[in-house]
Structure 1
Amino acid sequence: MTLATLSEVLQPALKEGYAVAGLVTLGWEDMRAYVAAAEAEDVPVILQAGPSCREHTPLPVLGKMFRYLAEAAHVPVVAHLDHGYTAEECRIAIDSGFTSVMYDGSRSPLAENIADTAAIADMAHAAGVSCEGEIGFVGYAGGENSAGTDPDEAAEFARETGVDAMAISVGNVHLQQDKSGGLDLARIRAIEAITNIPLVIHGGSGVPMDQRRTLSRGSAVCKFNIGTELRMAFGAALRAAVDSDPDRFDRVSILRDTHDPIVAATRSVLKGFKGA
């Protein structure tokens, strides 16, 4: 069994100069492909259940799915709650077997975010589970605008909450469908100069590949969340599978054809986070 906590995979990444992918899952087909890709590349992987995933499948079911995959894998697999918005949601995830929870209080005032995140980190640590927090707000493509992370606030947040990883807002945007953006390297350097915690980039699909590689090897950024990029690959594979035989109606047969393309797309993503 290679079930791991977030801290267990990020601390080695911080020390040795690589990053771990937090892959946003929506169902069995993609999470199974993600683990297969991680095994092929011989790297750890973080399976993430975000809000849209949880709308479709309850947390207790997702916990069992993640743990089942981890038990059969030969690489470390983290079962991670992504963007938990309440203490109760984080508690249910912990009770459901998740090994890591991310509490998102980034829309709250600093003092409230610190207090709420610290309480959830304490709850998680008491259960042997890791906790990720967010300081600064990461916006959405075509939606809410970002509010960049203030380095001094980030240092206070890391110190006062006791989180195992800290998500920051440094030019990254959720749901970005291309890699035309780029991160604010000066802000990242300012944050890592006064903190000693693994940093997390949400909205990693919008980060250019060369910048992913550079930061993975030479910064405190140890986790990139990748969702949109792989959802697009899944959608293309599913569309091709459906169109290949208009008379085919069995969804198991159709979905089986998505596996290899998703494994290939995921392996391409994972290669970019490996060390030198």
Structure 2
Amino acid sequence: MTRASLTEVLGPALRDGYAVAGLVCLGWEDARAFVAAAEAERAPVILQAGPGCRAHTPLPVLGAMFRYLADAAQVPVVLHLDHGRTVAEAEAAIAEGFTSVMFDGSALPLQDNIAQTARIVRLAHAAGVSCEGEIGFVGYDGGAVSDLTDPQDAARFAAETGVDAMAVAVGNVHLQQQASAGLDESAVAAIAAATGGRVPLVIHGGSGVPMDQRLRLARQSPICKFNIGTELRQAFGAALRQTLATHPQEFDRIAILRATHDPLVACARSVLAGLGSSGRA
């Protein structure tokens, strides 16, 4: 298989009770490791290019890298623009072959969020691309405070935008470095009830969600995409520090970065298996 849209991987996940991992990429080393992990697990995977990644590496370079990895893979790979905030960003990603775009209008008033998200949904769908939106606001560990998703706002947002997936704030927080107390499952249930359980829900800040809760919600709720970044970056950083400590004379960046590959693959495989997506591709 090659490139897949978000709809193509989340539809089966919603139907069959598992979740797909949206893995946050910062460069070649992690993107390559994530696809290797997906192939080892026979799992679909979503490669995500967020604002930090795009600030470091131009979007055309990321698009070429993601396309190369997806086209060589034996499992479905989604090329996803994460936290896009303008129409221009969505248009640029679609032009570079991304198969999914997220518009983050969560800081906007509800009506403006709906209007702008609906516009990008129409743009994406016209190009055969999926679109994820966000209702409520997912905060940051030690930073901006979350604004929890109102179930009725979520129902209206889903109906009026036509999004293919909807990110919600139910106790999840970006950039958590260790597992938290977990998500508010009653809030998840209320959103599921309000939307009829038909809209794939997305958890940003998935690194803070305990592993057992990830799998339980993947099986028992419409949550079928978890974004995972921090725990993968921790695995990368730990491997890098270990290599520099044990090989202090090494200066070749390729040799240094090569040592991160196996630990990243192992960490990503654990994430994929923990969402019930192993063997689904």
TM score, norm. by length of structure 2: 0.97
Segments of 5+ residues of structure 1 without an aligned counterpart are none
Which residue of 2 is the match for residue 133 of structure 1? 133
How much does 1:194 deviate? 2.1
What CA distance in whole angstroms lies between the structure 2 residues aligned with 1:186 and 1:205? 20
How much does 1:2 deviate? 1.4
1:174-216, CA deviations, whole angstroms, 9 ceiling, x for partnerless residues? 0001102310101110111121110000000000111001001
Which residue of 2 is the match for residue 62 of structure 1? 62
* Matched length: 276
Which residue of 2 is the match for residue 269 of structure 1? 271
Segments of 5+ residues of structure 2 without an aligned counterpart are none
Structure 1 residues 73-152: aligned runs within 5 Å: 73-152=73-152
On the 8 A contact 2:43/2:277 being kept in 1, the answer is: no
2:265 equivalent to 1:224: no
Which residue of 1 is the match for residue 214 of structure 2? 212
Overall identity of the aligned pairs, in %? 70
TM score, norm. by length of structure 1: 0.99
1:41-97, CA deviations, whole angstroms, 9 ceiling, x for partnerless residues? 100000000011001111111111111001111000000000001111111111111
How much does 1:275 deviate? 5.8
2:27 equivalent to 1:35: no
2:217 equivalent to 1:198: no
SS of the aligned residue for 2:226 comes to: strand
What CA distance in whole angstroms lies between the structure 2 residues aligned with 1:180 and 1:100? 29
On the 8 A contact 1:63/1:98 being kept in 2, the answer is: yes
On the 8 A contact 2:173/2:204 being kept in 1, the answer is: yes
1:96-129, CA deviations, whole angstroms, 9 ceiling, x for partnerless residues? 1100000000000000000000000000000000
After TM superposition, where is structure 1 displaced by more than 2 Å over at least 4 residues in a row?
Answer: none
What CA distance in whole angstroms lies between the structure 1 residues aligned with 2:90 and 2:244? 37
How much does 1:227 deviate? 0.3
SS of the aligned residue for 2:227 comes to: strand
What CA distance in whole angstroms lies between the structure 1 residues aligned with 2:145 and 2:62? 30
